[in-house]
C-alpha cells in the first residue's frame, strides 16, 4: 500500500467521505488512490477558491469536515481567501495540499513555493507528511485537529513521494476531543451580572446560534431583561418560524454603536468583543461602550449550549414560549427593492431551506425581513473575503442533500468564484442563486462618500461593474446553469417558485 492509499483509507475510517478537489501532477497518486478505493465522493472545482469555499459550506451543514485536494503552494494560495472565511467561521476542514517530492524541493523547480508559509495564516494545524509510513497517522491527526472545538482548518501537506512510496499504514480514527465546558465561575460571574438588573447585552456566536441554546438564551433574557444579539457575521444560524428571531450587531459602525450604547454590561458567548469591521477616522474600534464591563460566559473552544443551559438553571429561568414571528411575508409586488426582494424570498422559502448570504450592501435588510419565513439555516460570509457565496452554496447543497439552497448573491462578489456555477451544474445541485445585479461595488461607493470625496471618473470607474455590463444569464448558461432575468417582483416570484419546484441549479439575474 502506498502513502496515498493509506491516506484515503484513513480518511474514510475517520468518517471523511467527501473530497473537494482541483488536482495537479503532484497529486496523481492521490487521484489514483481515490479512483481505486471506493467510498469517497470527489467533487471537482475549476478554481481552488471554489474547492475551499465548498468545503466550508459542506462542513457548516454536515457538521463534519470534508477533505480538499489542492495542488502545491500556488493552488493553496488560490484557496486561501475562502480558508480565511472558514477560519473565521471556525469550520472544520481537512485541507490536503499535494506538493513537490521531499527530495525535489531543494532543486527549487518552478512550481516550488512556501506551501507551509501560505498555510499558516489560515490553519490551526499544519503538518507535512515526510514519509509514506506517516501519512495515515498524520491524516487521522488532521481530522482530529479539524474537529477540535470550535473547529479549524487542519492543513496536511503531502509531498508526492510520501504519496507514491510503498509502506503506507492505515490509521484508525482518533477519538474526538471532548469539548471543554465553561468553568463554574464563568457561569456565576455572568449570573451575577444579570442579577444586577442593569441593561445587559448577551452576544451570541458559533454553536450558540442553534435552536436549543437560543431557546435557553431566550429563557435567560426573559428572566433577567437582558437583550440578546448575534455577532455580525455568523457561520450558521437556525431561524425562521418557531425559532428565535435574533438581531445581529449591525455592520455600519455608527449604527452598531447606537444600538449597543445603552449596555454597560456585556456577556460574550463564544465570541470576542464586537469590533467595527474596519477602522474609520474618529470612530471607535470596539462597538460596545468603552466603559462596558465584559463577562465571558464561554470562550471559543467552550461549549456554549452547555453554558447557556447551566446559566438558565443558575438563574432558575422558567421555560417560556418564543415570541411569535408574525405572519409569513407575502411575496413582493412591482418594483424590485431590498424590501420587496426579501419578502419574495421569505414567501417562497421552502421548509428547511439553506440561505447563503453574500448579498453585501443591497441585502443588509434581508436578514430581519426573513425572520418569519419557514424554518431555515442562514449561512453568511464570516471573514469579509468576498467570493464565498457561490462555493458555500455548492458545499452546503452537498452537505445537506434534499434541502433547497437559496444563495442571495451580490454580483461583484460572485465574480470572484464564478467557476463554482459549473460545479453546481455538474453535480446537479438544488441551488437557486438570486444574483443581485447592480453592476457596481455599491458598498465602496458608500465608503467613498464617507471619506468625504466627491468622486471623479477614476474613482467611479474603480467601483463600476458596468461598461461592459455582465450578462449573468449568459454567464450562467455558459457554465451549464439555466438562468433567467427578472425586472420585477412578479417575474422574480415565478422564477423563484419554479426553481424550487424542480431539481438542479438555477440562476435568477435580478436587475436591481
Residues 211-240 that bind its own copies (CB under 8 A): 232-233
| Closer residue to its own copies, CB minimum distance, 185 or 454 | 454
The mark string for 113-132 relative to its own copies (x by CB under 8 A, - otherwise) is: xx--xx-xxx----------
272 binds its own copies (CB under 8 A): yes
- Stretch near its own copies under the rule CB under 8 A, chosen from 144-152, 297-305, 345-353, 447-455: 447-455
- Contact between 103 and its own copies per CB under 8 A: yes
Least distance to its own copies, CB of residue 351, Å: 30
Residues paired with residue 267 on neighbouring β-strands, in sequence order: 202, 295
Q: Please select the residue that binds its own copies; options are 472, 484, 499, 510, rule is CB under 8 A.
A: 472
Candidates 151, 89, 93, 80; CA nearest to 121 is: 80
Q: Is 455 in the site for its own copies (CB under 8 A)?
A: yes
Q: Min. distance of Cβ 401 from its own copies in angstroms?
A: 18
**Burial of 474 by CB count in 10 Å (0-12 exposed, 13-18 middle, 19+ buried)?**
exposed
Nearer to its own copies, 101 or 137 (CB): 101
C-beta of 429: minimal distance to its own copies in Å?
13
> How far does CA 338 lie from the centroid of its chain?
22
Residues 368-387 that bind its own copies (CB under 8 A): 382-385, 387
Provide the mask over 13-52, with x wherever binding to its own copies is found by CB under 8 A and - wherever it is not: --------x-xxxx-xx-xx-xxx---x-x-x-xx-x---
Q: How far apart are CA 285 and CA 274, in angstroms?
A: 9
Q: How far apart are CA 344 and CA 336, in angstroms?
A: 10
> Considering only residues 13, 64, 88, 376, which one is a binding residue for its own copies as defined by CB under 8 A?
88
Q: Give the DSSP per-residue string, 266-313.
A: EEEESSPPPB-SS--TTS-SBSS-TT-EEEEEE-TTS-HHHHHHHHHH
When asked if residue 281 is in the footprint of its own copies (CB under 8 A), the reply is yes
450 part of the interface to its own copies, by CB under 8 A: yes
Residue 503 burial (CB count, 10 A): 10
The residue from 319, 333, 451, 502 that contacts its own copies (CB under 8 A) is: 451
Contact 201, 266 (CB under 8 A): yes
Burial of residue 450 (number of CB atoms within 10 Å: 0-12, 13-18, 19+): middle
- Nearest-angstrom CA–CA distance, 211 and 482: 35
How many angstroms separate the CA atoms of 72 and 452, rounded? 44
For residues 299 and 177, the answer to whether their CB atoms sit within 8 Å is no
Supply 94's cell numbers. Answer: 481537512
CB of 323 to its own copies, least distance (A): 29
Residue of 416, 484, 489, 493 interacting with its own copies (CB under 8 A): 416
456 is an interface residue for its own copies by CB under 8 A: yes
All three cell numbers of 456: 471623479
For residue 77, the minimal CB distance to its own copies (Å) is 4
Assess 501 for contact with its own copies (CB under 8 A). no
By CB under 8 A, which span of 109-117, 149-157, 315-323, 492-500 interacts with its own copies? 109-117
Q: List the one residue from 100, 132, 302, 370 that touches its own copies (CB under 8 A).
A: 100
Task: Please report how close the Cβ of residue 34 comes to its own copies at its closest, in angstroms.
Answer: 6
Q: Give the span between the Cα atoms of 10 and 12, in whole angstroms.
A: 5
Give min distance, CB of 9 to its own copies, in A: 15
Amino acid at each position: 500500500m502506498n502513502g496515498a492509499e493509506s491516506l484515503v483509507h484513513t480518511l474514510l475510517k475517520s468518517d471523511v467521505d467527501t473530497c473537494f478537489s482541483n488536482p495537479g501532477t503532484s497529486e496523481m497518486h492521490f487521484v489514483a488512490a481515490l479512483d481505486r478505493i471506493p467510498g469517497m465522493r470527489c467533487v471537482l472545482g475549476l478554481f481552488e477558491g471554489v474547492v475551499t469555499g465548498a468545503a466550508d459550506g459542506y462542513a457548516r451543514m454536515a457538521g463534519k469536515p470534508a477533505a480538499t485536494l489542492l495542488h502545491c503552494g500556488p493552488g493553496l494560495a488560490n484557496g486561501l481567501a475562502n480558508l480565511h472565511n472558514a477560519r473565521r467561521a471556525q469550520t472544520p476542514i481537512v485541507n490536503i495540499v499535494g506538493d513537490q517530492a521531499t527530495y525535489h524541493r531543494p532543486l527549487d523547480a518552478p512550481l516550488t513555493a512556501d506551501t507551509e508559509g501560505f498555510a499558516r495564516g489560515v490553519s490551526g494545524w499544519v503538518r507535512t507528511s515526510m514519509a509514506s509510513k506517516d501519512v495515515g497517522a498524520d491524516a487521522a491527526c488532521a481530522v482530529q485537529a479539524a474537529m477540535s472545538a470550535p473547529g479549524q482548518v487542519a492543513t496536511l501537506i503531502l509531498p508526492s513521494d510520501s504519496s507514491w512510496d510503498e509502506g503506507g499504514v492505515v490509521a484508525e480514527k482518533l477519538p474526538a476531543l471532548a469539548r471543554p465546558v465553561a468553568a463554574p465561575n464563568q457561569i456565576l460571574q455572568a449570573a451575577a451580572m444579570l442579577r444586577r438588573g442593569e441593561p445587559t447585552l448577551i452576544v451570541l456566536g458559533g454553536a450558540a446560534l442553534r435552536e436549543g441554546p437560543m431557546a435557553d438564551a431566550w429563557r435567560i433574557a426573559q428572566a433577567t431583561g437582558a437583550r440578546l444579539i448575534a455577532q455580525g457575521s455568523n457561520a450558521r444560524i437556525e431561524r425562521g418560524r418557531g425559532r428565535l428571531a435574533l438581531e445581529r450587531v449591525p455592520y455600519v459602525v455608527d449604527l452598531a454603536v447606537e444600538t449597543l450604547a445603552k449596555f454597560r454590561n456585556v456577556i460574550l458567548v463564544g465570541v470576542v468583543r464586537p469590533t467595527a469591521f474596519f477602522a474609520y477616522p474618529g470612530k471607535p474600534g470596539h462597538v460596545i461602550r468603552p466603559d462596558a464591563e465584559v463577562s465571558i460566559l464561554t470562550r471559543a473552544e467552550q461549549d456554549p449550549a452547555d453554558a447557556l443551559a447551566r446559566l438558565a438553571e443558575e438563574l432558575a429561568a422558567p421555560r417560556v414560549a418564543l415570541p411569535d414571528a408574525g405572519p409569513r411575508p407575502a411575496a413582493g409586488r412591482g418594483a424590485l427593492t431590498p424590501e420587496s426582494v426579501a419578502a419574495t424570498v421569505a414567501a417562497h422559502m421552502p421548509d428547511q431551506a439553506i440561505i447563503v448570504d453574500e448579498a453585501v450592501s443591497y441585502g443588509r435588510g434581508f436578514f430581519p425581513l426573513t425572520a418569519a419565513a419557514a424554518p431555515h439555516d442562514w449561512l453568511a460570509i464570516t471573514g469579509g473575503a468576498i467570493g464565498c457565496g457561490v462555493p458555500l452554496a455548492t458545499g452546503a447543497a452537498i452537505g445537506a442533500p434534499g434541502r433547497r439552497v437559496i444563495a442571495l448573491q451580490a454580483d461583484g462578489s460572485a465574480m470572484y468564484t464564478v467557476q463554482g456555477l459549473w460545479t453546481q451544474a455538474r453535480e446537479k445541485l438544488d441551488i437557486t442563486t438570486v444574483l443581485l445585479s447592480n453592476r457596481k461595488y455599491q458598498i465602496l461607493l458608500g465608503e467613498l462618500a464617507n471619506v468625504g470625496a466627491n468622486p471623479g471618473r477614476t474613482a467611479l470607474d474603480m467601483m463600476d461593474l458596468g461598461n461592459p455590463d455582465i450578462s449573468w444569464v449568459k454567464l450562467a448558461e455558459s457554465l451549464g446553469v439555466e438562468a433567467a432575468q427578472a425586472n420585477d417582483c412578479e417575474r422574480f416570484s415565478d422564477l423563484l417558485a419554479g426553481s424550487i419546484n424542480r431539481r438542479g441549479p438555477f440562476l435568477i439575474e435580478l436587475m436591481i
